[in-house]
Amino acid sequence: MKSPVATTSGKILRRRLKADGTPENIPMYPYEIVSRLSDLSLLDFSAQPVPDSEYSDLDPVERARLRRIIQIYSTEKELLDLSDEELDKALQLITTVEKRTVPTMTGMLLIGKKDRLSAMIPTAETAIQVLSGTDVKVNESFIMPLLAGFEKITEYMNAWNREEEFEDGLFRISIPEIDRRAFREALVNAFSHRDYSILGRVRVAIEEEGLTISNPGGFIEGVTISNLIWAEPHGRNPVLSDAMKRIGLAERTGRGIDRIFEGSLLYGKQLPDYSKSTEKRVELYIPKSIPDKSFIRMITEEQRRLGRSLPILTLLILNSLKRMRRATVQEIVSDTNANETKVRDAMEHLSEAGLVEALGSGKGRYYILSAKVYRASNDSVGYVRQSGIDALRYKELVMKLAVEQGEISRANVIDLLHVAPSQAFRILKRLADAEELELISKGRGAKYIPTNTRVRKIVR
């Protein structure tokens, strides 16, 4: 049920899991109600007026920062033509309460004066840590307007985010340890989707192994780790999220999660990890893994050919095949948590583009990266190994059945290997040409026997 539940006596309950994994109902306290309503998308905390606030609590210096960000990132440049009050209204930074203009939570969070923000929204805390092994290089906690905090953290990130370059023909490709757009979307998500009704802080930790960004408040109702990429985009603080999109910091489509995963997929790196998230906290870990340059080359060439970026599903499928070497549609669906129909459609497009090859048929049909991809990575041996496994296995299975039965037909091969009739015929013909099988009758009921069986009969 998408609302808090109360008993007949008026006690509001919430459901939780006990230590043994079984569910139980426990009381929901008044301070938890706002957070629960936000989780259910029944309340936008960021749209609420800030109690005891004045319009003068908004900082002109921070508004100038806001305008500068719009100038750099936003496609809505017409916002710059608005007066200060018109701009504040357009982004819902202010509202009217009893004929007074006062800041909303979004207004205070984005451009509020630092001292007033600290007093009125003490939950808006942020921490940045830079760690080198066990040494703490930076450990700073602060409450400041989100735009100022965003720039502060980005400066730290840029200083520690090393890059390497490699040449791809006439092109030079720069590979950062952490993709900048992925970092920006991850940080925006942490600010936009955190629960500001509870104490806690957005924490950014830059380590030798990777980047961790966490924020108070679990996933919104209906979003889980398994459907994170594919769930309908909706957030805990719609007004704040919308302002972030309009000024250009967040992905306009609301699909910032795609950018986060794309930042690793484009470079053939390990995927972002949300596995440590709980019902009270979302935690993202982006590892600083070694890039796969042959994979980068394949993706880059295909995007140049198409003249556009590849869809996130296509990137996930290619990444799955890179890791698993060979996989059925069902295995790819399980690995990507994507819709099976969409996966099959994407596989067909990848086959037409020459990036993927299908081997086998029916239930035994599976996919591998194409010979072109393996050649680009100077791994022809890998391609032959993957594509040749079935040829060797088919021969072994067919010969074993032929010896056991004393003879074998095309129908037997179809039932055994789940291949098409034409492929069954080719398998039998190759074995006959290699003189391992002998054709003893022709037509629809053609049969083959092992050649050593014929030899034994002649000797007898």
Digit-coded pLDDT (tens) for 394-448: 788 888 888 888 899 988 888 887 667 777 888 898 899 888 999 988 877 789 9
Residue 19 belongs to some domain of the structure: yes
Residue 362 and residue 409 in one domain: no
What is the residue whose two structure tokens read 């905090």? 149
| Position 325 in a domain | yes
Domain closes at, from 349, 378, 407: 378
Q: What digits encode the pLDDT tens for the residues 227-258?
A: 888 888 777 899 999 999 999 988 776 678 99
Residue 1 has pLDDT above 60, yes or no: no
The pLDDT value recorded for residue 235 is 77
pLDDT in the model for residue 388: 53
Give me the numbers of helices (H) and strands (E) for the chain, helices first please.
18, 18
CATH code of the domain covering residue 280:
3.30.565.60
- Distance, in Å, from the CA atom of 116 to the CA atom of 105, rounded to the nearest integer, reads 12
Please give the backbone phi and psi of residue 50, each rounded to the nearest 5 degrees, phi first: -85, 120
Report if residue 80 sits inside a domain: no
pLDDT classification of 92: cutoffs 50, 70, 90: very high
Q: Please, which residues have CB within 8 angstroms of residue 21's CB and are 6 or more apart in sequence?
A: none
Last residue of a domain, one of 291, 320, 351: 291
User: What backbone torsions phi and psi does residue 229 show, to the nearest 5 degrees?
Assistant: -75, -30
Q: Is residue 327 part of a domain?
A: yes
191 and 262 inside one domain: yes
Same domain assignment for residues 334 and 401:
no
Predicted pLDDT of residue 197: 85
Of 319, 289, 347, 351, the C-alpha closest to 229 is: 319
Based on the structure, what is the number of domains in the chain?
A: 4
Residue 24: inside a domain: yes
Q: What is the pLDDT of residue 187?
A: 95
Asked whether residue 149 falls in the same domain as residue 208, the answer is yes
Segment 373-401, tens digit of pLDDT: 666 555 544 544 555 555 667 788 888 88
- pLDDT 10s digits, 40-90: 666 788 999 999 899 999 999 999 999 999 999 988 999 999 999 999 999
Question: What are the residues whose beta carbons fall under 8 Å from the beta carbon of 265, sequence distance 6 or more?
Answer: 271, 299, 312, 315, 316, 318, 319
DSSP string of 103-170, one letter each residue: EBHHHHHHHB-HHHHHHH-TT-EEEEEEEETTEEEEEEEE---HHHHHHHHHHHHHHH--EEEEEETT
For residue 344, being part of any structural domain is answered with: yes
Mean pLDDT, all residues of the chain:
84
Q: Are residues 374 and 416 in the same domain?
A: no
Residue 460: its pLDDT value, please?
A: 41
Q: Which of 291, 326, 354 is the last residue of a domain?
A: 291
pLDDT at site 36? 62
Q: Is the pLDDT of residue 38 over 80?
A: no
- Which pLDDT score, from 0 to 100, does residue 294 have? 82
Same domain, yes or no: 260 and 194: yes
User: Above 50 in pLDDT, residue 457?
Assistant: no
Q: What is the pLDDT of residue 381?
A: 47
pLDDT of residue 207: 93
The verdict on 236 and 256 lying in the same domain is yes
Q: Is there a single domain that holds both residue 173 and residue 285?
A: yes
Please tell me the predicted confidence (pLDDT) of residue 270.
93
Residue 24 · residue 18 · CB < 8 Å? yes
Q: Which residues contact 78 (CB under 8 A, 6 or more apart)?
A: none
The tokens for 127 are 């921490």
**339 & 249 share domain:** no
CA angle 383, 388, 392 (to 5 degrees): 160
Q: State if pTM tops 0.95.
A: no
Q: Tell me the mean pLDDT in the region 350-365.
A: 79
Do 359 and 433 fall into the same domain?
no
Residues 166 and 263 in one domain: yes
For the segment 29-36, the average pLDDT, to the nearest whole number, is: 62
- Inside any domain, residue 243: yes
DSSP 22-64: -EEEEEPPHHHHHHHHHHTTS--GGGSBPTT--GGGB-HHHHH
Question: Which DSSP category does 349 fall into?
Answer: H
CA distance 80 to 406: 85
List pLDDT tens digits, range 100-137. Answer: 999 999 999 999 999 999 999 999 999 999 988 888 89
Q: What is the pLDDT of residues 134-167, one digit of tens each?
A: 888 999 999 999 999 999 999 999 999 988 887 7
Handedness of CA 56, 62, 64, 68 (dihedral sign): negative
b/e map 55-82, b = 16+ CB within 10 Å: eebbbeebbebbbebbeeebeeeebeee
Q: What is the CATH number of the domain that holds 364?
A: 1.10.10.10
Residue-wise pLDDT for 287-341, tens only, equals 998 888 888 888 888 888 889 999 999 999 999 998 888 888 999 999 999 999 9
Q: Does the structure show a pLDDT above 90 at 18?
A: no
Which residue, among 32, 46, 48, 92, has the nearest Cα to 236 in the 3D structure? Answer: 46
Instruction: Assess whether pLDDT exceeds 60 at residue 34.
Output: yes
C-alpha distances out from residue 269 to 29, 70, 213, 319, 449, Å? 44, 32, 18, 9, 51
For residues 284 and 275, is the Cβ–Cβ distance under 8 A?
Answer: no
Tokens of 274: 């949300």
Q: Are residues 32 and 178 in the same domain?
A: no
Tokens (6 digits) for 254: 């609301």
Question: Which of 448, 450, 310, 321 minimizes the C-alpha distance to 383?
Answer: 321
Q: What is the pLDDT of residue 10?
A: 67
pLDDT band at 206 (very low <50, low <70, confident <90, very high): very high
Q: How far apart are CA 279 and CA 10, in angstroms?
A: 25
Residue 37 covered by a domain = yes
Q: Bridge partners of 166?
A: 173
Pick the more confident residue, 87 or 359: 87
**CA angle (415 as vertex; 421, 371 as ends), nearest 5:** 60
Query: Which structural domain range is residue 15 located in?
Result: 1-42
Asked if residue 114 lies in contact with residue 47, where contact means CB atoms within 8 angstroms, the answer is no
Mean pLDDT of 177-199: 92
Q: What is the pLDDT of residue 317?
A: 94
Looking at residue 109, its pLDDT comes to 96
